[in-house]
A and B are shown apart, each in its own frame.
Chain A
């Protein structure tokens, strides 16, 4: 048995390591915000200063102006996010139900195929998909960014299936005896019970669409259609690494909605990630 003194010393050491690691993890974000509030000359000062001599809030409106149509980009991003979230929640829930709560011949084999598709990275398929969307005349529109979401994603199906499987079979049986249709059971009984899981999928998809860079890069052609991620990259490449205070302000602006969403839904969020790692 370890002695209490030794145990306390151990916990103190753990705490000290966590403090150091915590500082290291927070420092980059703190530096980003700090830089975003500095006058230009202080961004380069040596040794670095954390607190600007005067907090320069106008970096934010300046960055918004320099990025061009910031609010238009934000609107584009939001539109793509909302459509993708709607599409993937509806279609993935349907498919996950089919994999979790109806027993049909060959189900396990088909599910195995679904898991295998997660191994196919987007760059591998992006050329034919680009060709497909080009034939449809969709290049330069938002459609390539949200239409695929209506055809379910393997990861979201996997996640929702985990939740659906956890519900007892009796619920469905009872409803079936009462003459409820399969879709009725799905829509009126199972979905309401799985609202937290649907929220998790919605959150993950929102973030994925908000963060997506490669999709907008290849499918969008005109500046006015850019999403925030693409607009930020284009702003950065125009700047060529000079106005760091404006770049950091723009980055902070793109990050804030993500952080806000996280803090509002922290509990579901963390549970969702834990589930994705094979818990249950």
Chain B
């Protein structure tokens, strides 16, 4: 039954499992999400990123696993032989609908890919909890274990002012779904800088520097690897932020050109996003074997010299 596939030096067995009534095989060590996607099922994901260990915090990718009391996060649950999984029944649809509603009612998802389509697919109505509250509370000063008692007239949100404290990128935490990816990219999974952290608790949990100081007073090295992994547009190049503010940002008019960073000998892959013959932002392919999407400040932001043109 089980065949073996050699990948590099490892031998990975394949396991058989049942997804929505059909038998599939998946490689040992892969996740239910991998298996579902390989078998052509669409499972929505929000906090999942392909370069960061899944935190399974958003809970939108939950599937039903027979024998498990609660639904399981497909992004991080590894396949096991004989698993029987349901990806699209009443229970999983309810769960996804509610997660989309809970996030949609508290976070600005306007720049998050696919959300409008998923809302429609799952019948999610984020407005059913009442009108959003934009109380301009200072979330950075929230006191752990305490909150303002709600009267129910509005739905509390994470709304707050955009943080603009450096010339390179902005932080708009009204759009933050707390996927933890920026913290993991800044900290132990990629950059080892630890400039940002998850602070506070419960609904007041937020991404913060120590004592919420400006980035310029923090340990930030402006590698921008947090921007690379941010799935919601909460972290954004200042260039993009300003163009969006001016109404000139137009992704359909942009080209993407892969090249190699000119600065040092590592050879990081760059993707230049160009609009009107001007580089508007830089990313890096997340599947590239050298960078895994990561760059340093020079590759990420050091492109102005290319376009210092004399008219």
Judge: A and B partners, yes or no. no
Query: CB within 8 Å of A: which residues of B?
Result: none
Query: CB within 8 Å of B: which residues of A?
Result: none
